[in-house]
Copies of this chain bind each other. A is one copy, B any other.
Amino acid sequence: MATDRINRYGRGREALLAATIAVVAERGLHGLTFRAVAELAGVNNTLISHHFGTKDALLHEAVAWATARAIRLSDLSATETIDGDFARALVELVASEPQLQVFQYEFVLEARRRPDLREEAVALYEGYIEALEVALTRHGHTHARPLARAVFAALDGLVFQQLTVADPDVVQEAIERVGRLLEASLIESRQSA
Contact of A109 among B118, B149, B164 (CB under 8 A): B164
**Chain A to chain B: the 8 pairs with minimum beta-carbon distance, closest first:** A153-B157, A157-B157, A30-B30, A154-B154, A184-B188, A149-B174, A156-B157, A150-B174
- Chain B residue nearest to A176 (CB atoms) is B146
- Chain B residues, Cβ within 8 Å of A175: 150
Q: Are the C-beta atoms of B26 and A28 separated by less than 8 Å?
A: no
Instruction: Give the CA-CA distance A149 to B154 in the complex, in Å.
Output: 9
- Chain B residues, Cβ within 8 Å of A110: 28
Q: Are the C-beta atoms of B164 and A156 separated by less than 8 Å?
A: no
- Chain B residues, Cβ within 8 Å of A165: 108, 111, 118, 121-122, 124-126
Q: Are the C-beta atoms of B113 and A105 separated by less than 8 Å?
A: no
Using CB atoms and an 8 Å cutoff, list the residues of chain A in contact with chain B: 26-30, 32, 102, 105-106, 108-113, 118, 121-122, 124-126, 146-147, 149-158, 160-161, 163-166, 170-171, 173-178, 180-182, 184-185, 187-189
- Chain B residues, Cβ within 8 Å of A160: 108, 153, 156-157, 160
9 more CB-based (< 8 A) A-B contacts, given A112-B164, A149-B166: A30-B32, A109-B164, A111-B164, A149-B161, A149-B171, A149-B174, A150-B178, A153-B161, A181-B181
